[in-house]
Every structure is written in structure tokens, then in C-alpha cells.
Amino acid sequence: MFIAHLIVTLLASALTGAAAIANLIGHEYPRRQADIMRVPHSWMRPLGALLAAGSVGLLAGLAVPIIGLLAAGGLVLYFLGALVAHVRVGDRNLGPWSVFFLPALACLILGW
């Protein structure tokens, strides 16, 4: 079970870390998504910081499990908030959202 948890944690951390970097550097994709979701661009860096904290927390959770559990829970809440933003504007393209949400949820379940 530890190997599955390790693989899912590394995958979730890599995906979340890449999203954090994209938000923090102002990459075009998250800016375009923010426009679609009607999220102010001023929120991009704080959201990127939350993603970065979640990514680092997942990795730290390999040494201190409660940190990983809290990070995974925080990421699940973050991505549920993103789901609300998608539904609010009527966006039904949830494929990219699920790529980030499902590994975070798997980390939460496997870390429990």
C-alpha cells in the first residue's frame, strides 16, 4: 500500500507544483482559465501560492504523515472550489479539472 501512496503522492505533487508555477509566473493557460471563470488576475499569485504549499505539503507528508493528510485535504477543498467556479459560469469542460482533483483525492484517501 505504501508504494501506491508514494506513486500517487509524487504524481499529485508534480501536477500541483506545475500548476503552481504556471500561476506564479503568469502563464497564458491559467490566465485564460481565470478569464473564463471570471476570477480576477490579482488572485493568480495567491492561488499559485496555495497550490505550491499543497505540493510541498504532500511531499513533506512522506516524512510526517499528518502534514500530507492536511495538504491533501486542503488541495481537495481547493479543487472543489475550482469546481464551483466552473459550474458557476456553466463550463462543462471538467477534464483538466479532474486531472488535478483525482490525484489529490487519492492522496487523501490513501493517507487516511
C-alpha closest to that of 36 among 104, 96, 110, 80? 96
pLDDT average, residue stretch 49-59:
97
Total domains, the chain: 1
What is the pLDDT, as a whole number, of residue 112? 84
pLDDT average, residue stretch 3-28:
96
What is the pLDDT, as a whole number, of residue 28? 94
Does the pLDDT at position 52 exceed 90? Answer: yes
d(CA 87, CA 82) in angstroms, rounded, equals 9
Residue 36 structural domain: 2-111
**Confidence tier at 79 by pLDDT (50, 70, 90):** very high
> How large a percentage of the chain has pLDDT more than 90?
93
d(CA 38, CA 61) in angstroms, rounded, equals 33
What is the pLDDT, as a whole number, of residue 56? 98
pLDDT average, residue stretch 44-62:
97
- Structure pTM? 0.93
